[in-house]
Structure 1
Amino acid sequence: MLTETDFIPKSFTKVAKNGTVVWSAPSNIALVKYWGKKPGQIPANPSISFTLSECKTITKLSFEKKEDDGSFTFDFLFEGQPKQSFRPKISTFFERVKKYVPFITQYHFTIDTQNTFPHSSGIASSASGMAALAVNLMSLERLLNPDMTNEYFYQKASFLARLGSGSACRSIKGSVVIWGQHEDTPGSSDLFGVHYTDVNEVFKTYNDTILLVDKGEKQVSSTLGHGLMEGHPYAESRFAQAHENLAAIKQALSTGDVDTFIKITESEALTLHAMMMASQPYFILMKPNTLAIINAIWQYRAKTGVPVCFTLDAGANVHVLYPENVSVKVLQFIKDELICYCQNNQYICDKIGTGANQLI
């Protein structure tokens, strides 16, 4: 089992003066939710997620060796334009990772990033954005240490991504990813995400249609939301529940038990929102149209037997999950009955993906 010290490089065998690398990294949607964290971006409970395919961040990292190696210097562009508001988050990330990628003070970086989904769509981009930046930095490290194994590359990329945004560690490698130590999952770690491979065929082609109920800014930041679990009256029970649900959903994913998958996935989504409603201060993140969609899905599933379900992130948008073999029926249901609840009738069709991908 790798520890933090294993990610601190001892030496480099090569020199890189300048260059450019480009990676894409996707968003992910948790099935068993991570909510609450310990110092150092350590999760209070383990989680498991589907990696998405189409909702992703594409980041180009250009680097040039400089004379002064004492501080971070970088230019940041979002969709080709300078974006000053993003700089503090990048600076914080660099501070957190410099121990593990000490060469970053030796280069001036130009970070040019864009999302394949609209920035105002209400879909969190921290996971995909930090994951994309992490794999770019690892590409630079691999130039300095060409003997690096692929396993180490992806584990360290996940480790670095976690230090930028906890859930970003689940966007690096694999279609189904577990993050957080779990007694029934050998090799699981609080430090990085682990690709879970014992997945039945039915789940390998799952679809995720994201209904954009509210495209506004998040009412509660992730940092604040996780912080509300400290001293929460139901925190310990929730953390125990997450361990139990992770064991059960792993079994469902392995055996193709769609009914159990649906029960756990929907329960986890509602539990996340219940924890926010029971926090101090308390928040209701769902909108009336969120509830209307949930009720419509339940009624449709009861009436037709089609195995469609929902999950939510910490917001109002609804992720509609379903197997590929019922996609025609579900998409027609979405068009006929659900898009009327979406802001400007907007939704995004996505599916399960494989993780980060190097483009250049």
Structure 2
Amino acid sequence: MLSEKDFISSQYASIDSAHFRWSAPSNIALVKYWGKKEHQIPANPSISFTLNHCKTITELSVKRKESKDTFSFDLLFEGQPKEDFKPKIQKFLERIETYCPFLKEYHLTINTQNTFPHSSGIASSASGMAALAMNFMSLEKTLNPSLSDKYFNQKASFLARLGSGSACRSIKGEVVIWGNHQETNNSSDLFGVEFTSIHENFKNYQDTILLVDKGEKQVSSTVGHDLMHNHPYAAQRFAQAHENLSKMKAILSSGNLDKFIEVVESEALTLHAMMMTSMPYFILMKPNTLEIINRIWKFRKETKTPVCFTLDAGANVHVLYPQNTTEKVLEFIKNELVAYCQNGQYICDQIGTGAKSI
């Protein structure tokens, strides 16, 4: 089992300059991670679908500099300087310094963009930190060509986690498990591991994201996770997540769509229940979120179509369904659900395979 020490770079060469470009997708958790310990360690394991179209594309240019005392970087978002993003990148660099000490030897120019609309209500921290971590690993591989592909991906996931917890699930795989889980070999709190035993029913699974509220998050992820400390139901929730992860693995392997719906929707509502029962407490769903959920339930009951919803810590709704029901579900979405989206906006996505070098 790998430990943090295994990811410390001790052997690397030096170069004058280099340029890399990676894309990394967002992901949507089926079993939710909510609550964390120090150093971005999850309080419970989670499992997620990696998305395909909702991704961040990040270019990294490095140029050797004289001083190695501090980090030096420029940050561009869609080609324009983005000063308000810089503190988060600075904090990320400080967190990973032990594992990537070579970064201080270079001036970094980071140019990033999202394929989904900015402030669309879709979390970009997972895709953004994953894309940046892949670029940093490309630099490390240039400095130390002996790195194996397996180590490259594991360390990229490890680094991404230190930027944003769920980012570790955006590196590799259609389905990724993150967090120690007794029934999952090689599972780790330090990085995500690919889950490969996926039934045909879940191949090319669809995710249409209904943008109910595109405003700034009511509660930041960090604050939300912290609310699990001393939460009256935290212990039960963490135990439930372990049980549901075991169930979800069996479901994804067997292709049982009915059980998939049960666990995914229960997990989504449990996440919001934890927020509503924390202190202070929050209601992150909007009236239109509830309207959409009720209409999905009604449609599923009347048509027997295996469509379900999940939620992140916000008001937007992810509508999940098998590829062979796409035409029917999209017609339903356009006819009944789009009216509850802000400016009628929604994004069609599906399962993807992770980060890619461009």
TM range (shorter): over 0.9
Q: For residues 37-76 of structure 1, what are the structure 2 equivalents within 5 Å?
A: 37-76=36-75
Q: 1:10: which partner in 2? A: 10
SS at match of 1:186: coil
Letter of the 2:53 counterpart:
E
Root mean square deviation, CA, Å: 0.5
TM-fit CA distance, 1:306: 0.3
Alignment partners' CA distance in 2, 1:107 and 1:126? 24
Alignment partners' CA distance in 1, 2:276 and 2:88? 28
Q: For residues 215-234 of structure 1, what are the structure 2 equivalents within 5 Å?
A: 215-234=214-233
SS at match of 1:40: helix
Q: 1:78: which partner in 2? A: 77
SS at match of 2:275: helix
Q: For residues 206-355 of structure 1, what are the structure 2 equivalents within 5 Å?
A: 206-355=205-354
Alignment partners' CA distance in 1, 2:149 and 2:281? 44
Q: For residues 105-254 of structure 1, what are the structure 2 equivalents within 5 Å?
A: 105-254=104-253
Q: 2:93: which partner in 1? A: 94
Structure 1 residue ranges without an equivalent (≥5): none
Alignment partners' CA distance in 2, 1:141 and 1:25? 18
SS at match of 1:302: helix
Alignment partners' CA distance in 2, 1:223 and 1:147? 36
- Residue by residue, what CA displacement relative to the aligned partner does 1:163-191 show, whole Å, maximum 9, x if unpaired? 00000000000010000000000000000
SS at match of 2:102: helix
Alignment partners' CA distance in 2, 1:86 and 1:15? 28
Alignment partners' CA distance in 2, 1:234 and 1:19? 50
- Residue by residue, what CA displacement relative to the aligned partner does 1:115-140 show, whole Å, maximum 9, x if unpaired? 00011111010000000000000000
Letter of the 2:353 counterpart:
T
Alignment partners' CA distance in 1, 2:9 and 2:140? 9
SS at match of 1:298: helix
Alignment partners' CA distance in 1, 2:91 and 2:99? 14
Structure 2 residue ranges without an equivalent (≥5): none
TM-fit CA distance, 1:48: 0.1
SS at match of 2:39: coil
Letter of the 1:123 counterpart:
I
Q: 1:25: which partner in 2? A: 24
Letter of the 1:165 counterpart:
S
Letter of the 2:256 counterpart:
D
Letter of the 2:91 counterpart:
T
TM-fit CA distance, 1:10: 2.1
TM-fit CA distance, 1:223: 0.1
TM-fit CA distance, 1:15: 2.5
- Residue by residue, what CA displacement relative to the aligned partner does 1:236-292 show, whole Å, maximum 9, x if unpaired? 000000000000010000000111111000000000000000000000000000000
TM-fit CA distance, 1:16: 1.8
Letter of the 1:254 counterpart:
S
Alignment partners' CA distance in 2, 1:339 and 1:25? 28
Identity rate, percent: 70
SS at match of 2:196: coil
Alignment partners' CA distance in 2, 1:10 and 1:101? 9
Alignment partners' CA distance in 1, 2:244 and 2:222? 24
Alignment partners' CA distance in 2, 1:46 and 1:153? 22
TM-fit CA distance, 1:312: 0.2
Letter of the 2:8 counterpart:
I
TM-fit CA distance, 1:296: 0.2
TM-fit CA distance, 1:11: 1.1
Alignment partners' CA distance in 2, 1:29 and 1:311? 8
Letter of the 1:216 counterpart:
G
Alignment partners' CA distance in 2, 1:11 and 1:114? 32
Letter of the 1:175 counterpart:
E
Runs of at least 4 residues of structure 1 off by over 6 A? none
